[in-house]
Amino acid sequence: MGVQGVLAGRTALVTGASRGIGRGIAERLGRDGARVAVHYGRNEAAAKETVAAIETAGGSAFAIGADLSTSGAAEALWEEFDRHADGLEVLVNNAGIGSTPPIGEIGEAEYDAVFTVNVKAPFFILKHGMGRLRDGGRVINISSGLSRTAVMPDNMAYAMTKGALDVFSRDLSKVLGARGITVNSVAPGIIETDNTAELLHGSADGWDRAAALSALGGVGTPAEVADVVAFLASHGGRWVTGSWMDATGGSLT
């Protein structure tokens, strides 16, 4: 599709886009014609692979680095972004720490770290990015099915961060709605990425147990989450805001 796509002429920023779900989203938005800012925390080489994949498919992309666990990360991210673009239409807050130890084991430093990356970073990325986001734009926050189910209570602190992110999406939709900007959460279930490799492949029945959670009897892929994000980013998603989109493959039914 390349520049002929539905997002032609628009710029998108996807945080944590060097691998996994973020890479899937970045590649899809690139195929839809957006110029994609591929954010990474530490792995510049992986981010450049995502950029190369987008360009190979006929799209346009650039990599920007900012460690979201550090103070001032949001300002650093936008300073880097401003070197390449003068505004954007689509912002996808995908970067996150994907799991946490159980309540009996987690320490304060680990707790603070997951809230810093998963909640504080998206909040301040928006605080400093609202002026760069053009009217009629899109904000899509990647949540989790775990914000609505206790099926994995040992991952409690992580699930708590996604609950906070959902409230952020809901309230921010009222803040930005007057400008025609939609804000939504997309909540994946178990998706096959390197983050879930141990869960899916660490035991003989890991994959089967994960697949059994889904009404569709499978494990999701980054592309399947990216399709939902692409809809919300498109003109077709213009009347959906403040919403929580279940992309768990029916794992909550």
Q: Are 35 and 61 in contact (CB under 8 A)?
A: yes
Q: At 132, which amino acid appears?
A: R
Distances (CA, A) of 243 to 178, 215, 231: 16, 22, 13
The span from the CA of 94 to the CA of 195, in Å, is 13
Per-residue confidence at 197, pLDDT binned at 50, 70, 90?
Answer: low
At 134, list the tokens: 């053009």
The span from the CA of 106 to the CA of 44, in Å, is 29
Q: Are 225 and 141 in contact (CB under 8 A)?
A: no
pTM of the model: 0.95
What percentage of the chain reaches a pLDDT higher than 90? 85
- Mean of pLDDT values over 230-239: 98
Sequence-distant (6+) residues with CB within 8 A of 204 are none
Which residues have a catalytic role annotated? 143-144, 158, 162
Identify the CATH homologous superfamily for domain 2-193+221-243: NAD(P)-binding Rossmann-like Domain (3.40.50.720)
The pLDDT score that the predictor gives to residue 126 is 98
Q: Residue 186's CB: how many other CB atoms inside 10 A?
A: 25
Structural domain boundaries of the chain? 2-193+221-243
For residue range 147-157, list pLDDT tens digits in order: 999 989 999 99
The span from the CA of 166 to the CA of 242, in Å, is 9
Q: At 150, which amino acid appears?
A: A
- Mean of pLDDT values over 47-54: 98
Per-residue confidence at 196, pLDDT binned at 50, 70, 90?
Answer: low
The pLDDT score that the predictor gives to residue 195 is 74
The pLDDT score that the predictor gives to residue 3 is 47
For residue range 123-156, list pLDDT tens digits in order: 999 999 999 999 999 999 999 999 999 989 999 9
